[in-house]
Structure 1
Amino acid sequence: MGMTFLGRAFSGRAAFVARAALAAALSLPAAGAVQAADDRAGAAILVSAAIGNEVVQMIELGPKVIQVTVNDRVVYEDREGRTLSFVNAYNMEGRWLVLLQESVDGKCAARYRVLDLGGAKPSVSLPFGTCSNAPKVEQADRTLTVSLPNSDGKSTAAWNYRDGTLVRMR
């Protein structure tokens, strides 16, 4: 069963009420969708969702430490950012991809990573972006294209992700 995240990015630092509203909006089971704490002391499950055949969770371990797990296995840990968010999930002909957004510092509003659930094991791409928090995402021919405005406001940069490979196109 697949799940698509709708709307804007959901912040990893959101209040419990916002997480509960997210779970309701995504039609996730109340018991498994949002939990106050993980087995790890002081950890909080911020988002939990079924995507394809996988369970993806965003877990806050402490200030500036957020993990992304797939089926309880850590696939990415962010120790630099102020926030980590799910932007959306995309089904690329049976291969599920999740676009993650990180906010790093006051100079760069956002950078992005792709969580790939379709390979032999889940993986996370290298970071990319122009510091813009306004991605335009397109899907075609098993390729996810993320376009972002450049800082000059006149041009755009674009990255293609396909089968585990991230390439800057312009």
Structure 2
Amino acid sequence: MAFGIAGTVAGSADAAEPRLMAALGNTVLTMTDIGPKHTQVSVNDKPVFEDKESDMLSFVGAYSLKDRWIALFQADTGAKDCPTRFRILEVGGPQPLVSYPFGSCSDAAQVTIDNDVLTISMPQPGGGGEAAWTYRNGKIGRTK
């Protein structure tokens, strides 16, 4: 079993209940809070990444790109210098792909899709214009 102990009885300590379950096509995405600053993200009951640094990991949205689904997550770090970062999880390919954390530290992300490309834009800190990251072919890169 992924969580808990086989054969637990009613009233005993059970595994953490998922905070979020979402169907992305034929895939089930689950977010479970394991403990303080510890959130596990699973695809079809298989853990794909764990966030052990953020105060809170949130699901922003899911976006369809041809035969794949892209889930966008926001990590609230609690840090004064950079309170928010983002991460992408792609499902639908041979295996789930997880991006590294990215963002300008703003929580005001705007998502656009053009053909098979997802772009996440957000303000730069201190009124420095706009920053953007583009996700295509399993890779995220800063484009602005």
- Offset, 1:42: 4.8
Q: CA deviation at 1:152?
A: 2.3
- Higher RCO (C-alpha under 8 Å, 6+ residues apart): 1
- Give the structure-1-normalised TM-score: 0.74
Is the 1:136–1:147 Cα contact (8 Å) retained in structure 2? yes
Q: Which residue of 2 aligns with 1:54?
A: 27
Partner of 1:158: 132
Say which structure is richer in helix. Answer: 1
Identity among equivalent positions (%) equals 44
AA at the equivalent of 1:130: S
| Mapped contact 1:56–1:70 kept (Cα < 8 A) | yes
Does structure 2 retain, via aligned residues, the 8 Å contact 1:125–1:166?
Answer: yes
Q: Tell me, in whole angstroms, the C-alpha distance in 1 between the residues paired with 2:37 and 2:15.
A: 13
For the residue of structure 1 that corresponds to 2:100, the secondary structure is coil
How far apart in 1 are the matches of 2:129 and 2:59? 25
- Asked if the contact 1:119–1:164 (Cα under 8 Å) also holds between the matched residues in 2, the reply is no
Unaligned runs of 5+ in 1: 1-37
The whole-number CA distance in structure 2 between the counterparts of 1:71 and 1:129 is 27
Larger radius of gyration: 2
Residue equivalent to 1:116: 90
Tell me, in whole angstroms, the C-alpha distance in 1 between the residues paired with 2:83 and 2:93.
Answer: 30
How far the C-alpha of 1:39 sits from its partner, in A, is 3.6
Report whether the alignment pairs 1:146 with 2:120.
yes
Shift of 1:93: 1.4
Corresponding residue of 1:25:
none
Between Structure 1 and Structure 2, the one with more strand by share is 2
Unaligned segments of structure 2, at least 5 residues: 5-13
SS in 1 for 2:103: coil
Shift of 1:118: 2.6
Distance in 2 (alpha carbons) for counterparts of 1:39 and 1:80: 21
TM-score by length of 2: 0.87
Considering only aligned residues, what root-mean-square deviation do their CA atoms show, in Å? 1.4
